[in-house]
Structures are given as structure tokens and as C-alpha cells.
Structure 1
Amino acid sequence: MAEAAIPVAGRRHGDWPFLLCYALAWAGAVAGYGPLLTLLLPLRVAELAGPAAVPWLATLTFIGAVSASLTNIAWGWASDRTANRRGWVAAGLVLSCALLLAMPLATTLPALIMVVVAWQAALNMVLGPLAAWAGDCVPDRHKGVLGGLLAFAPAWSGAMGALVTLPGLHSGPGVGFATRVSVLAVIVALSILPLLLISPRLTPLPEPAPLPDPGAAPRALPVRRMWLARLLVQLAEATLFAFIAYWFLAIDPTMHAATMARIYGLLLALSVPLALVVGHWADRRARPWRPLAALAGLVAVGLVIMALAPGRGVALAGYALFALAMAVFLALHAGQTLRVLPRPDRRGRDLGLFNLTNTFPSLIVPWLAVGLVPTLGFGALFLVLAACAGLAALLLLSIRQA
């Protein structure tokens, strides 16, 4: 693994060919875990565990989240130390696809958990270095557009989830699961291979410039505020991800699951052009923080509307505002995070630490929901989450223009 990555000043890999291939690769990586964790694995656990599916799935989810968090940091750090991204992404792609194909061979729950944990470690060998690769190659002037393109990933993941759950792919217990994960492995490989094949070779990372004062990194404060802001907003995202079906039924007991899926899919699709427009505006005006602060504020407004809505129509309008602002915020935040990381030689490790904002909420949300919803209802929960999103907006507004 001798090939190295470069910082943004080296070459103009931030132009459209690289950006498009990178966006496709990232969407493929997200599609590698989205449909599996939300659709295929729960069904597989139900096949194997029967009535005990819920505790087994909770165990698998918890252990998998710990594995993903630690290995994302580890592989990002390894790609920093070896000054290489491509080799780690390629190795992770091979290992994760092989473990996907091996998953149907796990016919007991302990075996399935071991394979899934190993698969998550391998997938993060792709995700950790891949996230840092964008920081190496995309200049600050394109960070907003990069974030806009990353909004394509959730929509692509949702589309792939619909594809791999088509009734025609199912031909009996076990066989259906094997067919679906095989299709998923092919999708992931075809999405990531173009970036590995067409990206030009890169030159070594330079030594980082010494800081003028060892006790004060120039970008330490923006980094911390960006991290905390994302964590606060992710609390709302994780809560709605886990409990949105229950909320839909609370406002309309007759709503069908297919209707919920169509609403969610439509909003994800609309978020892609919106994120591109907002990201392009941020690049043209060199105002990376203002759109993020405004979007966090809109997330808060959407939650307040959902909490106080007098009826179904207003509640769904609030949800639409929330979901669109959330999707665009998360995509643009991912791109702008690369702007504030202070050292290219540890970018992979630092992005792994940022990735904890995606896993910590999963540990907080169940307790928050259990403490509020049974006694005070979803409205109280949404108001607490709106306060978190509002605080995130204030944190982002307090960041001075870099």
C-alpha cells in the first residue's frame, strides 16, 4: 500500500469527474449497509429467532454499532499512517462483499452476529478511508457541491432497499436472503469500482505545518462546534428514524406502511437537488456555516410544527420541512467538516471521531423516548429535539468565517 493521498492544494481532483465518481462510490457504500440493517437483517433474524427476534436484533444492533464505531476510527487512522486511501478501500470492498455473500451460510444467531460484526468492520475499511479521500482531493471551493452530491446517498440507498426487497427476489426461506444480499454485493461493487479504476495516482502527503502555539490549534474551536452541532441534530434524526412509523400511526391510524415509505422516499429524492443548490450557493458566496445554521433552524421549526400540529395535514407539512432540512443538513455538514479538520495527516482518524455522532444518538434515543413518549406523548419529545436543533443552529452561527 504505497500509493498516497494529497491535500487539497496539490491537484484539481475536486472537478466533476472525480466528484461524480466519488458521490457514486459513497452512495454505493451507504447502500451496502442501509437496506441490510433496516430491512434484510431484521427479516433474517426473525426467520432464525422467531418470537425472540427483538432481543436478538437489539443485541446484534448494539454489538454492530460498537464494531462500526471503533473500526471506522481504526481504518481511518491506518489509511493516515500508510498515506494511502485507495488500497484500504479496495481491500475493504473485497472483504465486505465476501462477508455479505457468506452471511446466508450463518444458520444460527451467534454465527450470524459474528459474520455481521466482521462485515461491519470490513465495510468501515471502505467508509473510513473513503471519507478521508474526499478531504485529500476536493478543494474548499467545492466542499458545498460535494456535500450536495452526498445527499444522493440516502436516496440511492432507499432505492436499493426497494430493489432488493422485490417479491421476485424471494424464493423461500434462506434462498431469498441469499439472493438479496448477492444483489446488494453486486450493487456495492459496481458503485465503488469506478472511483478505484479511474482516479489518477496521487503523490505523498506532506508533513503537517507546525502550529504556532502547541496549546491552541487554530481550528480546534470550529471542529468542536461542528462535532457537537451534528450530534445535537443527529439526535432528532435517530429518533425519527426509530419511531417515525409509530408517529405516523399516531396522527393517522389508517396509514399504510407503503404510504409511509412513499412519503419518505419522495422527500429523500427532493433533498438531492435542494442540497446541490444550497451547496453551490455556499461555495459561490464562501459562506459554509450560514446554510448549515439555517438548516438546523429549519429542522427545529419542523419539529415544533410536528409537536403542535392540530391535524394530519399540518403535521405532515412539518414532517416534510423537518425531513428535507435534515437530509440537506447532514449532507452539507459532511462536506464542510472536511474544511475544519486541522491536519491532513490524521484526517482519517479525525473523521472516525466525527462518525461517533452517528452512533452515540442510538445509545441516547431509546432512553429519551421511553422517558417522554409514554407519559407526555410525541409532542414533548419533538419539543426537546427542537431545542437541541436550535442549539446546534446557534453553535454554527458562532463559527467565524474561515
Structure 2
Amino acid sequence: MPDTKAQAKQTAPFLYLYALAAAGGAVAYVPFLTILLPLRVTEFAGQDALAVLSYTTFAGAIAASIANIGFGWLSDITKTRRPWIGAGLVLSSCLLLLVPFASSPPLLIALIICWQIALNMMLGPLSAWAGDVVPDAQKGMLGGLLAFAPALGALSGAFITFKGLATADERLYWVAVLMLLMVGPLLLFGKPIKMPQLLVDRPKEVMAKNADNSARMAVWRMWSARLMVQIAEASLFAFLLMWFRSLDPQFDENKVANIFAFVLSIAVVFAILIGRWSDRVDRPIVPLVSCAATAALGLALMALAPTLPMAIAGYVTFGIASSIFLALHSSQTLRVLPRASRRGRDMGIFNLTNTVPSLIMPGLTLALVPRYGFDLLFLLLAVLAMLASLLLFKMPERPASSAV
């Protein structure tokens, strides 16, 4: 009898094209939300920049949360992912080019809401597509490749902010072009091997049998742990430039982009190696536990750092560990979703761990930073990251049998 497990492998070309497309999604928002948007807000908001940026992030996160679930669900209902990804790609690119025309906070917030909706028309179905065609035996490898997404997003930020390359408005055109070049090849040339076994819901009687407390707890441990790490990630994602400038007013946006690029590039190498290791030994949870604990250590160093070099070292530690965690978690999440027919919707619900922190983070930052500075904020985030590690420490290594 043939070894069906050995045969159930997705092709390397598709995995690489998928990873490139996921990176294109990151290029769409990483340089924009971390560098270009804060700079634009600072231009017309002045001393109110922190508040305006917080409100803009808040509104955009709500739109992204709803859109990701909605378009993921629509791609479930229509039983196709590719057309939704293509439509979102085109619409989000066009909306990005309208940003220079938003000259006031209300206009900017409205535009960001529309842009987030269009972007998640692409991202929601894209995340679910991996679950349709990548088997569990390659989830670690997939997670490692997904680490390229934030890395290339950061590299694109370093590229478009290179002095003399482009004006503020031209940088947005560069972002749109790069996104099209990275997502387009998957839509045009991506031909995955069909995996019909991944498109079938588990039998109801099996789901009912497995829906015990420990299985349900595995799902919520995964969701909650990612939420805690993402709260820390989101806080630095939006305010890293401001934090570095609070330590050194001469610290410019290109230096921040270069640090992002360095951290995430190193994370790619380790994520691929660790992902392959987790596939080989069938231990998908151990790397998540270790990375969350290391991220907590990095945040503690940031809070206690007396000098800029030590602060950068703390961020590098946090950035590498959290990037590996988030990349591997993204692929391992697919193990805990029991209904293939609602995979897009369920991935959208898990995506709330990416967007809800953007709802929590502005209020948290505004409550702590003006009065106590960034140090107390980083200590609180370190506690959350350590709690994430502890949550996963007691989780079964094979959560695939869990049910929501």
C-alpha cells in the first residue's frame, strides 16, 4: 500500500510563489504604516501627531478586522480564492495612490478605512489558500517561508526611504509597484497540486468526539498567545520611530527602516531552520514557547536600557524572536481549524489577533507614555509575552484534533 503521507507534498515552486505573495502583502502595509503614514500625519498634525496617528490606526484596525473575516468567508462560499486576491490587489494599490490627496485627519481616516477593506479583500483569501493546499507535514516549512513577508516588508521600507530615491508621494508609487510585482506571479503562475483531503470537513461525529475541554483549550491558547505577542508587536510597529527619536532626536526614518530590515532578515534564516526542524521531529509548539519567552527578554532589555545601543540590542532580540513566533504561528494555526469549508472565515477570526492589538495599543500607549514614558509600557508588554509562552507551554504538541 502506498505511503499517502509521503505523497501528500505541495510543490516547492508554489510554496515559494505563495511566500512571495505573502511578502507582497507585507510590502503593502509595513513601510506605509510604520514610516510613510506617521511622517504624513506629522506634516499636518504637528503636536497632535500621536493622537491623530492613534485614531487613524484604531479606525483602520476595525475596518481590517471586519473585512478580513468577511472576504475570507466570501471566498469560502464561492469556493475560490484567486479572484478575491486579484481584486483586492488592484483596489488597494489604487487607494494607496490617493493618500497624498488626504490633507486633513478626517479625510485620511476615511481613506485608510477604504484601503484596509481593499487590502484585506486580498489578505483574507490569501491566508486561507495555504490551508487548502499545504499539508500538516509542510506547515513548519511554510511558516519559515512566511518569515520572508515582514523581512521583505522592512527591506522595502529601507529601499523606498533611501535618500534621494523618491519624494514622499513617489514612495507610495514604489509601494504599489512592488506589491503588484510580488503578488502577481502567484495569481498568474501559481498552480498548486490539489489536496482534496484538505478541503473536506471532519465528520461531525469525529468533531463531537474530539470537542473536549483540552481540545477547545488548545484553540484558545493558540489564539490568546498570538494576541499577547501581537499587542507587543503592534505597539512597536506604530511607535518605534517615535521611541528612537525620544532617545536620539537625530534618529531618522531610514535608520529605523534599516534596523527593521536587519532584524527581520536574520529572523528569516532562523524561522526556516526552526520550521524544518519542527516538521522533522513533529514538535510544532516548542519553537513558539521558546520564541515568546525570548521576546519577553528583549522587551525587558528595552525597558531597562540606559543607552541607545543597549536599547537597539533589546529591540533586535525582541524583533527576531517575535518575528519567528508570528511566522511559525501563522502556519501552525491551520492545524487547529476543524472546518475546511469555513477556513477563510476562521482564519479571519484568528486574524483578529493581528488587528485587535491595534485597537488596544493606542489607548494603552496614550495612557502610559505621556505620564510614565516608554519604559513602563515595555515592561507591561514583556509580561504579556511571557504569559504567551506559559500558555503554550502546557499545550499538546498535536492540536490538530481540536475543535472550536
Q: Which residue of 1 aligns with 2:57?
A: 61
| Partner residue in 1 for 2:279 | 283
For residue 393 of structure 2, the aligned residue among 385, 397, 400 is 397
Does 1:74 find its partner at 2:70?
yes
User: What does residue 113 of structure 2 align with?
Assistant: 117
Would the alpha carbon gap of residues 294 and 99 (structure 1) be closer, same or farther in structure 2, given more than 3 Å must change? Answer: same
What is the total number of aligned residue pairs between the two structures?
390
Q: For structure 1, which segment, 388-397 or 17-26, has the greater mean C-alpha deviation from structure 2 after superposition?
A: 388-397
CA distance in 2, matches of 1:170, 1:256: 16
My pick for the range that moved more, 300-309 or 73-82, is 300-309
Q: Distance in 1 between matches of 2:345 and 2:210?
A: 20
Structure 1 residues 44 and 309, CA, compared in 2 at 3 Å: closer, same or farther? closer
| 1:354 matched to 2:350 | yes
Counterpart of 1:300 in structure 2 is 296
Of residues 310, 318, 324, the one that matches 1:328 is: 324
**Are the counterparts in 2 of residues 89 and 126 from structure 1 also a CA contact under 8 Å?**
yes
The yes-or-no answer on 1:197 pairing with 2:188 is yes
The amino acid that maps onto 2:59 is: I
Query: What is the deviation of 1:297?
Result: 1.0
- Could you tell me whether the CA contact under 8 Å between 1:208 and 1:345 is conserved in 2? no
Structure 2: distance between partners of 1:50 and 1:147: 40
* In 1, Cα distance between equivalents of 2:173 and 2:306: 46
Identify the residue that residue 268 of structure 1 maps to in structure 2.
264
Q: Match of 1:226?
A: 222
Q: Is the 8 A contact 1:245 1:260 kept in 2?
A: yes
Pick one of 202, 206, 211 that aligns with 2:200. Answer: 206
SS in 2 for 1:90: helix
2:149 aligned residue: 153
Distance 1:111 1:251, change over 3 A: closer
Question: Which amino acid is the alignment partner of residue 61 of structure 1?
Answer: T
Is the 2:161–2:254 Cα contact (8 Å) retained in structure 1? Answer: no
For residues 98 and 242 of structure 2, the distance between their equivalents in structure 1, rounded to whole angstroms, comes to 34
Match runs of 1:173-192 below 5 Å: 176-177=168-169, 179-192=170-183
Structure 1, unmatched stretches of 5+, are 1-7
For residues 112 and 312 of structure 1, the distance between their equivalents in structure 2, rounded to whole angstroms, comes to 33
1:142-201 superposed Cα distances (whole Å, 9 cap, x missing partner): 111111111111121122223333454546xxxx51x33232222111111111122237
CA contact (8 A) 2:298 2:318 kept: yes
Q: Is the 8 A contact 1:88 1:126 kept in 2?
A: yes
Asked if structure 1 preserves the Cα contact closer than 8 Å seen for 2:92 and 2:119, the reply is yes
How many Å separate the matches in 1 of 2:276 and 2:134? 14
Counterpart Cα distance in 1 of 2:308 and 2:44: 38
From the superposition, tell whether residues 118 and 307 of structure 1 become closer, same or farther in structure 2 (CA, over 3 Å): closer
Tell me which amino acid in the other structure corresponds to 2:93. C
CA RMSD of aligned residues (A): 3.0
Separation (CA, whole Å) in 2 of partners of 1:58 and 1:315: 24
Is 1:74–1:349's contact at 8 Å kept on the other side of the alignment?
Answer: yes
The residue type paired with residue 388 of structure 1 is L
8 Å CA contact 1:144, 1:280 repeated in 2: yes
Secondary structure of the corresponding residue to residue 14 of structure 1: coil
The correspondence for 2:82, drawn from 86, 89, 107, is 86
Unmatched runs of 5 consecutive residues or more in structure 2:
399-404
Which amino acid in 2 is paired with 1:328?
I
More moved, 128-137 vs 339-348? 339-348
Corresponding residue to 1:318 among 314, 339, 354: 314
Q: Is the 8 A contact 2:14 2:191 kept in 1?
A: no
Give the counterpart letter for 2:358 in structure 1.
Answer: S
Any idea what SS the aligned residue of 1:355 has?
helix
Q: 1:336 to 1:222 in 2, by over 3 A?
A: same
Kindly tell me: are residues 298 and 203 of structure 1, through their superposed partners in 2, closer, same or farther at Cα, counting changes over 3 Å?
A: closer
Q: What is aligned with 2:402? A: none
1:203 Cα deviation after fit: 7.6
Deviation at 1:81, TM superposition (A): 1.1
The farther-off stretch of 319-328 and 193-202 is 193-202
User: In structure 2, what is the equivalent of residue 98 of structure 1?
Assistant: 94
Kept in 2: contact 1:211–1:217 (CA 8 A):
no
* Partner amino acid, structure 1, of 2:171: R
- Contact (CA 8 Å) 1:145, 1:283: kept in 2 or not? yes
Q: For 1:135, which of 109, 122, 131 is the aligned residue?
A: 131
- Aligned ranges for residues 236-251 of structure 1 at < 5 Å? 236-248=232-244
Matched-pair identity in %: 50
Task: Call closer, same or farther: CA 1:11–1:107 in 2, change over 3 Å.
Answer: farther
Work out whether 1:38 is the aligned partner of 2:34: yes
In structure 2, what residue type is equivalent to 1:195? L
Question: Quick one: which amino acid aligns to residue 206 of structure 1?
Answer: V
Q: TM-score when scaled to structure 2?
A: 0.85
